[in-house]
Amino acid sequence: MKSAQRTSRPLALAVAALVGLPLAISGCGSSTAASPSEAVTELSVMDYYNNEPDKSFIGDALTKCGTQLGVTVKRETVPGKSLISKVLQQSSSKTLPDVLMLDNPDLQQIAATGALAPLADFKVSTENFAEGVLSAGTYKDKVYGLAPTVNTIALFYNKDILAKAGVTPPTTWEELKAASAKLTAGDQYGLAFNANPTYEGTWQFLPVMWSNGGDEKKIDTKETEQALQLWTDLVKSGSVSSSALNWTQADVKDQFLTGKAAMMVNGPWQIPALDKQPTLQYGVVKIPVREAGQTSVAPLGGEVWTVPQTGNKARQAKAAEMVACLNSDENQLAMATARNTIPSKTTLSDKFASDNPKLATFTELIKTARARTGQLGEEWPAQATKIYTAIQTSLTGNASPADALKQAQGQ
């Protein structure tokens, strides 16, 4: 009996500790949910800029805004692929950060769950933003996220190769096909794009689809069929390698960089890599349209900053100030210049384009760029899957563009 008593004391201690632990943890938790009157001195932030140099650029902007607002920033960066699962975990355990970055096509998905606060609740200005940028940040008529800088895709071309072949950058589909065919010789393809079975493949197809009047809600239309016919013709004729079916945008960039593709569809985030090779002279034009006179409509890319519903109004208000600060004219210009992206306010376009001639085409495109979720909202992922399935079916020759689109739409 004696021995039992002796051993039970540490046991009791351990039990007390175990019982106490959650109390201690919840104690810490409750301090964050303090009364609104208490001054906010710290904001937690989560984003997916986990690679240099973006990691530092964004980190610097956050720190700068933090100093302005009198808060310290506790930042967490997670890999892009795991951001959404992390956000879902945190929303079920009610531990969302004060400021959350999301990839713009995911915003409506998350806003639909009720996890985000409308920015109007905190009087954050949404003036001067490009229409597409606001539509990407909007769910059911309320703006939930703002992107300081955005991006899109255009046609890069190798100046030397085109000059040698006597080809001028194409502006229409016919010109694109002719130029690509002429630039294809030996090891070199005329054009490289990405048509892989992921949302990236859909994203790269959107410019031709949208510019021709295609509609993502109903893809078995004449307009989308014509666009898919163009992609199919380019691959069938051998102007684009059939490897496009498995390339990522980074692979496409590598093809262009090594001179294996004379032109490519890609975005401004590839510019630092291209500039590392001084011998490479390249230009950027809008993605060609079917007929002269059509407008080239580009898809909008970029990340929006949001204020999750954490339940603490004071902290949320401070977080909204942080979002506003990141979107100030000054910060938009600084981040855009540093990261080769485009400021999302159209009032800044002219100044930015003249200061950064390399990004002029992209800046022009952003004014009319469309958000992927603009029409479909949370239905976008399902429809984007159908679009890349149709692209793959047609490019592999399993079905004609029209049949591929019809099959996919019916799925």
Partner 1 sequence: MSLTTDLPHSKGQAAGGAVKSHGPGTETPAPRRRTRQRRERIFQWLFLVPAVVYMTLFFGYPVVKNVVMSFQEYTTSTFFTGEAPWVGFTNYVTVLSSSLFSTSLLNTVLFTMGSIVGQFVIGLALAIFFQRKFPLNGILRSLLLLPWLLPLIVSSAVWRWILDKDSGALNRFLGDLGIIDTGIPWLTSTSLALIAVVGVNIWIGIPFNLTILYGGLQEIPDELYEAGSLDGATGWKAFRHITWPMLRPVVSVVLVLGVVYTLKVLDIILGLTNGGPANSTQTIATQSYNLSFHEFKFGEGAALGNVLVIISLVFAVLYLRASRRAVDE
Residues within the interface to partner 1 (CB under 8 A):
84-85, 88-89, 91-92, 109-110, 112-115, 187, 189, 196-199, 241-246, 260, 378, 381-382, 385, 389, 392-393, 395-396, 398, 407, 411
Closer residue to partner 1 in complex, CB, 224/389: 389
φ, ψ dihedrals at 257, nearest 5°: -65, -40
Report the alpha-carbon distance of residue 121 to residue 283 in Å, rounded.
44
Q: Are 285 and 177 in contact (CB under 8 A)?
A: no
Q: What is the H or E stretch that residue 145 is in?
A: strand 145-146
CB of 379 to partner 1, least distance (A): 10
CB of 335 to partner 1, least distance (A): 28
Concatenate the DSSP letters of all residues of 10-55 into one string.
HHHHHHHHHHHHHHHHHHHHHHHT--TTSPP-EEEEEE---STTHH
CB of 89 to partner 1, least distance (A): 7
Closer residue to partner 1 in complex, CB, 171/243: 243
Identity of the amino acid at 49: Y
Burial class of 346 by CB neighbour count within 10 A (0 to 12, 13 to 18, 19+)? middle
Closer residue to partner 1 in complex, CB, 62/395: 395
Closer residue to partner 1 in complex, CB, 103/321: 103
Closer residue to partner 1 in complex, CB, 88/285: 88
CB of 146 to partner 1, least distance (A): 21
CB of 361 to partner 1, least distance (A): 28
Closer residue to partner 1 in complex, CB, 126/407: 407
- Residues sharing a CB contact under 8 Å with residue 100, sequence separation 6 or more, in sequence order: 45, 46, 47, 87, 116, 305, 306, 307, 308
Q: What is the H or E stretch that residue 301 is in?
A: strand 301-306
CB of 198 to partner 1, least distance (A): 6
Residue matched to tokens 């890609």: 266
- Three-state DSSP state, 154: strand
Identity of the amino acid at 319: A
Closer residue to partner 1 in complex, CB, 57/388: 388
CB of 100 to partner 1, least distance (A): 13
